[in-house]
Amino acid sequence: MSSPQSYRPQVANDLSGRIALVTGGGTGIGLMIAQGLAAAGAKVYITARRLEVLEKVSASWDRQIGGEIIPLQVDVTDKASIAKAKKFIEEKEGKLHVLVNNAGQEGPKSLFFSDPSAPENKSAEALGTAMFNNETFEAWGDHYKVNSASIFFVTTAFLGLLAKGSEDEAGYLSSVINVTSISGVIKLAQDHFCYNSAKAAATHLTKMFSTELALKGIPVRVNSIAPGVYASEMTFDEIPPEQVDKVGKGIQSVPSKRAGTGQEMAATAVYLASRAGGYMYGQELIIDGGYTAVNPSTV
């Protein structure tokens, strides 16, 4: 039986000594998560293509809060770049405890789709033709590379190091956290069929990885976080309450009447990465202020 001390939240959520890597960690949700992991004591490598953004974040982090934030330039759509990052972590740390697959883009849009007054919506023929002409196979392919395929390649590249990290303490397994979206579980297109279907693919990749790794006896847990309306590079730097429904593009208002906070996002990631979430496998935590409770979804 666990000791009474182990039930204290600050013990269950402590990430001291853990090594983490967060893709797309320099801005938005990735930054929220990186800062949360570091504040819980982790040594966090943040990656993105723009090194200057990462360096700025790293330089501004107050180590008195806890942990470290270290920049590492990586393109998650390039296998050579991923392999180089894996080699760097392997030589520097020899293991990895937490991998957060957060890198993503919004993708192609057909903004007229949800506008009843748009001429493109005057008939099925007009709508179909407009959507066919407005988007391209190339844009869809590029988007899927970032939002779903990158999860496969980054996870497989670091799988051995994650398994190595699980050897540190019996029963305290390394964790993969995929940042998906409520857009992958709702039945609304929100003007971007590509983004929503790519996020649905990311959700299913989470479940497949979790199941297959467990069946093969590989000691790595895989879960995902599906955010609702949060400030990010894909939305706005700040989302005041009156803008939440405009960003969410639901048919019903978000019950919480506000956007999610960095604290809520960070705490959810820390839960999944820490001992507190150590019994969770293959699940998707939806943090959306009630969006999926009142809008059509698959959950």
199 is catalytic: yes
Q: Considering the domain boundaries, does residue 118 fall inside one? A: no
Q: Considering the domain boundaries, does residue 131 fall inside one? A: no
Q: Considering the domain boundaries, does residue 160 fall inside one? A: yes
Among 58, 148, 175, 181, which one carries the catalytic annotation? 181
Q: Considering the domain boundaries, does residue 127 fall inside one? A: no
Instruction: Kindly provide the b/e burial profile for residues 113-145, where b requires at least 16 CB atoms within 10 angstroms of the residue's own CB.
Output: beeeeeebeeeeeebeebbeeebeeeebebbbb
The CB density around residue 178, as the number of other CB atoms within 10 Å, is 25
pLDDT tens across 150-184, in order? 999 999 999 999 999 999 999 999 999 999 999 99
Number of domains in the chain: 1
Residue 2: band (very low, low, confident or very high) from pLDDT cuts 50, 70, 90: low
pLDDT tens across 28-65, in order? 999 999 999 999 999 999 999 999 999 999 999 988 88
**Residues 184-199, mean pLDDT to the nearest whole number:** 96
Q: Is the pLDDT of residue 232 over 80?
A: no
Q: Is the pLDDT of residue 286 over 80?
A: yes
43 is catalytic: no
248: containing domain? 4-109+145-293
**Better-scored residue on pLDDT, 162 or 235:** 162
Q: Check residue 9 and give its pLDDT.
A: 63
Q: Considering the domain boundaries, does residue 132 fall inside one? A: no
pLDDT more than 90, % of the chain: 89
Among 43, 95, 164, 199, which one carries the catalytic annotation? 199
279 is catalytic: no
Token reading at 223: 């879960």
What predicted TM-score, i.e. pTM, was given to this entire model? 0.94
Among 45, 144, 195, 230, which one carries the catalytic annotation? 195
Which residues 6+ apart lie within 8 Å of 219 measured at CB?
163, 166, 173, 174
Q: Considering the domain boundaries, does residue 210 fall inside one? A: yes
Q: Check residue 5 and give its pLDDT.
A: 56
Q: Considering the domain boundaries, does residue 121 fall inside one? A: no
CATH number at residue 202: 3.40.50.720
Residue 10: band (very low, low, confident or very high) from pLDDT cuts 50, 70, 90: low
Q: Considering the domain boundaries, does residue 82 fall inside one? A: yes
